[in-house]
Structure 1
């Protein structure tokens, strides 16, 4: 067959479309899930799997379904930062950091997690490895080097790691095998993949296919690129909403910019793409300031917002205790556990997410309807509804009391305040008074 220009163009288009054909099937158990990030080192005085295991029942009670453990592997010693080093400088991809315990301890943690109906994923650092990673002694060709044979680190501040070379098919194979090892041998439920966009997407696509031959897995990318959702990842980071919350809390943005952001994201992502909503995580807490330092009096309303807005909420360990301390990244620095209203707030909202289908993830959740108000500069209102399940949420994203009118047929109904249990009946018109940084969450009675 003669390849005419038109046929060539057609083939290129077919190849392109096939490369981005949507094959992702989310695990059924992820549909109503909330994710909880665990920093084993700082979680308890001993910083071990065994000590963390004691907290599983409380996390289950709070409404957590997915546990994301920061890297559990041995940490590099060459060019180590601080005394204990960064978890993200991996010395051996198939071993356990002895600070945390043994492989038997980890296997027991996975088993206990599953017994409680929860799931566990581990952090995976595929882009780079420690200077003294075991492969530097056996397979130097796995690493990216310059013309003089020197190791390369793409990000200058990452002085404790060296880049891996994904042009090498042997590296791709052994990295894939290492990931399969943890699924096969320890029955983990997936991975959170560090700086996922710095690794070729076709590598992740293949990884997902191979992991799925073992069991259904859940994959979280530390990235935002929409194409990562098509074949490899269930969820990406919703950094844009975090940025809006930071700016809004400082008076630099308001609800008008939020409305524009929502429209932009709706065009960028498939309706069944999971986006991870968060006010803090290990990076933000250690490097950008605590949630309270960044958001001030708006911290609580932002927490409620991420639990109700479309997407999967992330809880970083310690948030339930009102964590207002930047945890050291390279040293022992225990979370200051204490009783705090956040625990009850999370318990109500995250358990509501599990039982109210309007709040489920992706297309399993309810239709999102923006409810226009008489002040759409400071007040943000919406409805999410799935069959008989309906949630009405109204947020005063300002430091002033607001009285607003809302007129929409979605309003009408009999409701229970999800946080106070009080009852309220609404017609299709309502006038609401909200104190500064206050919110209203109603669910159908």
Structure 2
């Protein structure tokens, strides 16, 4: 009997301790959840004014090509002033019609070693609510989001609403969700302007006339907002999707929490009525390439600025970029396109009206076209541009003279004696102003400006830079100054 009571007492003590541990564990878990939720302030529109956005190519960012490897470097993004992290599609990739660089499908390649290397396009999605095992687990992704939030960085997912991969569950269960030809066959996406195929034959075109498909698409987007705590979306080929879908979807998404929405598009109307917050600054991008290559002179920059001011509203935000995943893989590296002006045009992207983008690897002087369908790791041996982006990011974050958004800083072109060679302008808000001057040619130039005074040369250790009205100064090829 004595032994029974000893055993019973011990058992009660064990259960009590276990219950206490469980209670403590539950409290700790609750505290952790609360801490994660509170680790970043809710997104507000004014946060776009001085933000830098970073595009993460998880596959190519590290030798591992994983969420975990990328997460370790998130504090480095903060050093560059990054406030918004755009993660390229993280979803499982279709194994049917998985494409290779030469346009062949993996299943048609006989050599098993070559076939094994084909990883396929991020944009051929087989499941909108799972993660690509190539990158890790969903728990790994949650850690990425948590770490970004702890570093005051918002996370937006690359969303692909225009099409899916050929083994998406909808193909079998809901073929009516897709565009079909006269024979009732599902087709790949077509150019709405020409009615001809884009050539994206590794994906199937979604049919937005189908209201049930729209509902499922919105439900899948809501999953990432409600259950995975992401802060918005970059929407692939957003203008190929009917605008009335965005009018239907975005209010439902924003009913959960305020989100940042980026459209891969340029149409101004997509930013009206509280739809998208930002579109691509394609006009600026193409102009920079043409000026660097000598196809246009510096005068074309101001002409394009005027055109953009007429086209968009003052509060509209454009994303300024010298590279992104498409440009790098298909149209060339920044050195191929911008010649010796890589840093010059990076500074222009940060000081011109809009939000600047850094694409994975640019901070490490990326000088190769990353393979799109295969593993191709970014080298991190060179770090010159990291220090450049760090300075530019700090300036963009902290100086109201570079503000965008609803109350943007003003933009004023400055007269120079060499308008074909030199871009010069002033940004101003309140008492703060910043001047950008750049020789955007590969030849030395002498230039005078309609300015007079002593300025801080921000990128040159804030040394004094003196300009006397109408007195010529020498500028080396691609030389630029950001003056405060």
**TM value normalised by structure 1:** 0.90
Report the CA distance shift for 1:247/1:424 in structure 2 as closer, same or farther (over 3 A). closer
Between the aligned partners of 2:473 and 2:405, the Cα distance in structure 1 is 30
1:291 pairs, out of 329, 334, 339, with 334
What 5-or-longer segments of structure 1 have no aligned partner? 1-24
Between the aligned partners of 1:412 and 1:179, the Cα distance in structure 2 is 53
What are the equivalent positions in structure 2 for 1:25-174 lying under 5 Å apart?
A: 27-82=45-100, 83-153=118-188, 154=190, 155-174=197-216
What 5-or-longer segments of structure 2 have no aligned partner? 1-42, 101-117, 191-196
Contact 1:348–1:419 (CA<8 Å) still a contact in 2? no
Given the alignment of the two structures, is residue 309 of structure 1 paired with residue 352 of structure 2, yes or no? yes
Look up the SS of the partner of 1:141 in the other structure.
Answer: helix
Look up the SS of the partner of 1:206 in the other structure.
Answer: helix
What are the equivalent positions in structure 2 for 1:242-321 lying under 5 Å apart?
A: 242-321=285-364
2:429 pairs, out of 366, 373, 386, with 386
Q: CA deviation at 1:364?
A: 3.5
Q: CA deviation at 1:432?
A: 3.0
Contact 2:448–2:469 (CA<8 Å) still a contact in 1? no
Report the CA distance shift for 1:204/1:428 in structure 2 as closer, same or farther (over 3 A). farther
- Which residue in the other structure is 1:10 paired with? none
Look up the SS of the partner of 2:239 in the other structure.
Answer: helix
Look up the SS of the partner of 2:411 in the other structure.
Answer: strand
Stretch moving more, 300-309 or 419-428: 419-428
Contact 2:55–2:324 (CA<8 Å) still a contact in 1? yes
Contact 1:271–1:363 (CA<8 Å) still a contact in 2? yes
Q: Which has the larger radius of gyration?
A: 2
Between the aligned partners of 1:275 and 1:144, the Cα distance in structure 2 is 32
* Partner deviation per Cα, 1:269-297 (whole Å, 9 max, x = no partner): 01111101111110011111111112211
Between the aligned partners of 1:272 and 1:26, the Cα distance in structure 2 is 15
Contact 1:310–1:362 (CA<8 Å) still a contact in 2? no
Between the aligned partners of 1:104 and 1:264, the Cα distance in structure 2 is 46
- Which residue in the other structure is 1:8 paired with? none
2:236 pairs, out of 183, 186, 194, with 194
Look up the SS of the partner of 2:323 in the other structure.
Answer: coil
- Which residue in the other structure is 1:326 paired with? 369
* Partner deviation per Cα, 1:24-81 (whole Å, 9 max, x = no partner): x962322211111101011111111111100011111121111110000000011101
Between the aligned partners of 2:454 and 2:243, the Cα distance in structure 1 is 47
Between the aligned partners of 1:329 and 1:219, the Cα distance in structure 2 is 25
Between the aligned partners of 1:95 and 1:226, the Cα distance in structure 2 is 33
Contact 1:192–1:222 (CA<8 Å) still a contact in 2? yes
Stretch moving more, 147-156 or 137-146: 147-156
Contact 1:407–1:430 (CA<8 Å) still a contact in 2? no
Report the CA distance shift for 1:159/1:328 in structure 2 as closer, same or farther (over 3 A). same
Look up the SS of the partner of 1:375 in the other structure.
Answer: coil
Given the alignment of the two structures, is residue 434 of structure 1 paired with residue 434 of structure 2, yes or no? no
What are the equivalent positions in structure 2 for 1:396-415 lying under 5 Å apart?
A: 396-408=439-451, 412=453, 414-415=455-456
Report the CA distance shift for 1:438/1:416 in structure 2 as closer, same or farther (over 3 A). closer
Look up the SS of the partner of 2:125 in the other structure.
Answer: coil
Contact 2:175–2:186 (CA<8 Å) still a contact in 1? no
Look up the SS of the partner of 2:121 in the other structure.
Answer: coil
* Partner deviation per Cα, 1:80-134 (whole Å, 9 max, x = no partner): 0131100000101111111111111111111111111111101000001101111
Between the aligned partners of 1:415 and 1:250, the Cα distance in structure 2 is 30
Contact 2:438–2:481 (CA<8 Å) still a contact in 1? yes
- Which residue in the other structure is 2:387 paired with? 344
Contact 1:60–1:116 (CA<8 Å) still a contact in 2? yes
Q: CA deviation at 1:135?
A: 1.0
Look up the SS of the partner of 2:70 in the other structure.
Answer: helix
Look up the SS of the partner of 1:47 in the other structure.
Answer: coil
**TM value normalised by structure 2:** 0.83
* Partner deviation per Cα, 1:337-390 (whole Å, 9 max, x = no partner): 113211111000111100001112234331111111111111111111111221
Q: CA deviation at 1:326?
A: 0.7
- Which residue in the other structure is 2:267 paired with? 225
Contact 1:26–1:234 (CA<8 Å) still a contact in 2? no
Contact 2:177–2:207 (CA<8 Å) still a contact in 1? yes
* Partner deviation per Cα, 1:148-199 (whole Å, 9 max, x = no partner): 1111221342111010000111111111111111011111110111011100
